[in-house]
Amino acid sequence: MNASPTLGANESQRRSWTVERLFEVAQKDTVIRLRWPLVILSSYLLYYVPNEWLTPTQVQAILILYLLSHSTLYFISDRLFDSPYFYGPLLLFDTLVLVSVLSSSGTASPDFYIACFLTLVLSCICNTAWGLLVVTFLAPLIYGYFLLYSFGDMTPDLYLRLPFPFIIPLFYGYFAHVERIRREGREKDEQVKKEQQAAEEIRRQRERLDVLCQVNTSIAYNNDTAATVASFVDTTLLQLPYAAALVRLRNRQTGALETAVARGFKTRSSGRARESLTFTDRVAERKIPLAVENVFVDVPEQNLELFRKEGLVSFVAVPLIANGGALGYLVFLTREEHEFGEEEVNFVSTLAGELGKAIQHAELFQHSQRQADELRSAHRLKSEFLKIVSAELKAPLSVIAAYMDMFSEGRLGTLTPIQEKAVETITGQYRELQRLSEALLHAGNVGEGPPVDLRETKLWEFLSELRLSYDGRPGKAKLSWSYPNNLPSVWVDRGKLKQVLEHLIDGAVKSSDGGTLTISARYQTEKSLLELTFTHAGSRIPQSFALLEQLKQAESADSWLQHGGTGLGLYIMKKYLDLLDGKIMLALHEGSLKLLVPARWEKPAGREDLWSSAASSS
């Protein structure tokens, strides 16, 4: 039962064995076995071939030393055989011995050297182990065939040449192929290392992007500076390998740097330790990051009481830049010595940039909030003032109205024609003051209460009531009304629509030099629009029409009031038209004005639905 895993492992090893595995490293046993034929053949040539340079005793001594040198290889450590610094000199020694033996024996000829050289080159340039083996076995066969047909009689020295084309490529080709595989292995290792470095860089970039995403998420919805800075520091300390963090911001009033947030400190003295932060405050002035690996070695002359108490060693400080100005600076600290690389400093600077922009946005939001509060307060004061003025005007107007009634009824005596004319003038001015008082009241109420008070209104009755209010009223222009009696009931803000129409009519009548002002109305069923047209037939166009053309883009009451006494009414009309989503279309060359107001058969769900069926009307 226990033998089957072992058998399976051995079988797997046998299946995975390849010729290439012989050349993965220069193995001791393989090198010794491949060198034995070279040693034996060289020794045989040196011993049996006559030599004129050496005596027999010298030859025997050289042979003994040569064989002993090969035998000593058995006692050398296996690790040396895989080093080029070992087998390189060994190959050089064997080459010198082989060349010396062949030269001294006189058995070699130019064709022999050529054959050996070619086999050596082919064995070195073969890229596979099988190619090396093919060269090793084919080289002696081809060379033997050449010798057989080139020389008629085969002498012993010719037979001695045949093993060399086999031994040389086998021995030298082995080391060449080992070196080639070793080089390929180094290239693969470098490639793998590069891929690992790239994967590590991608992982770091992903982690940093995650940190940036979480930081942006944590500060995106904070409109308070203190909350923004606190949320940023808490998030970054959870994600980054730092022990503490500190943010110092410049006070807008005094210009001094003050600690806004401090996290990760053991004591509460970090916010008050101004002396220990003097050299880091320079970061905000110079706008350049500062990274210190060991404060006690790099800046020993500074006051480092805070670092000693907290056990802090390294830090990186980066400025908080927004719109070219330094709002302060950010510091990350560690309690172990840490080297801040350029890439890490750039990432911390990126975080600081995000914090700087968030602080600036928060300050701008707070500033806009203060301005909005001031505007709302000013608007309330304006509305209250207009209401008070309107109320104060009612008392003297009531007294004037009472005395005019007494004069008209003759209770104060009979009036002369001149006095009657004076009373009539006073009555006209009283009505102007009364309209002005009502206009002030409406101007004070603009922007208060619901924007649009939709009520179901019968258009025919609404226009008839408006017509009756103008019957018998004196004016330069004559009014002519034209509208069908089958106008439908629609949903519209009756009060604001009445104010707009009164201002249009009053302005046209007052600024006209005579003629007839025709007011016509119709309802566009397919577009749910109430269309009111004012057409003037006279010698010149009413001044109020021209003012509308000139001031239709004006937004402030001052712009309207600069163009005459009708300015307040035009301003109120403009605001009410905006609330009603009404449109005015002018045709001054025809002396006409067209007013379009959305009016639905059913009550709309909201303001956004007012123009849903009339989008193409303009």
Looking up tokens 């509208």 gives 483
Chain-centroid distance of CA 296 in Å reads: 38
User: What confidence score (pLDDT) does residue 24 get?
Assistant: 54
Residues in the chain: 618
User: What confidence score (pLDDT) does residue 153 get?
Assistant: 61
User: What confidence score (pLDDT) does residue 152 get?
Assistant: 58
**Each residue's pLDDT tens digit, 71-124:** 888 888 877 877 777 777 877 887 787 777 777 666 666 777 677 777 777 777
Q: What is the overall mean pLDDT for the chain?
A: 76
User: What confidence score (pLDDT) does residue 268 get?
Assistant: 66
CA distance 231 to 224: 11
- 218-370: what fold? Beta-Lactamase (3.30.450)
Res. 308: pLDDT tops 60: yes
Parallel/antiparallel/unpaired status of strands 290-292 and 325-334: unpaired
- Model confidence band, residue 12 (pLDDT cutoffs 50, 70, 90): very low
Res. 315: pLDDT tops 80: yes
CA distance 568 to 407: 32
2 or 601, higher pLDDT: 601
User: What confidence score (pLDDT) does residue 337 get?
Assistant: 92
Give the architecture-level CATH label for domain 451-609: 2-Layer Sandwich (3.30)
Cβ pair 303, 314 in contact under 8 A: no
- Model confidence band, residue 291 (pLDDT cutoffs 50, 70, 90): very high
Q: What percent of the chain has pLDDT over 70?
A: 75
Most confident of 15-19, 60-64, 613-617: 60-64
Written as six digits, the tokens of 533 are: 């047209």
Cβ pair 461, 492 in contact under 8 A: no
Parallel/antiparallel/unpaired status of strands 455-458 and 478-482: unpaired
Cβ pair 67, 39 in contact under 8 A: yes
Helical H runs in 221-253? Answer: 225-239
Res. 475: pLDDT tops 80: no
Mean pLDDT along residues 352-366: 86
Res. 443: pLDDT tops 80: no
Chain-centroid distance of CA 93 in Å reads: 66
Least confident range from 20-34, 126-140, 295-309, 397-411: namely 20-34
Q: Domains of the chain: which residue ranges?
A: 3-189, 218-370, 451-609
Res. 532: pLDDT tops 80: yes
User: What confidence score (pLDDT) does residue 611 get?
Assistant: 41
Instruction: Quote the pTM value.
Output: 0.48
The residues facing 536 across adjacent strands are 517
CA distance 141 to 545: 117
User: What confidence score (pLDDT) does residue 213 get?
Assistant: 85
CA distance 94 to 85: 15
Cβ pair 233, 212 in contact under 8 A: no
What is the number of other CB atoms lying within 10 angstroms of the CB of residue 333?
26
CA distance 373 to 365: 12
User: What confidence score (pLDDT) does residue 552 get?
Assistant: 53
CA distance 538 to 41: 135
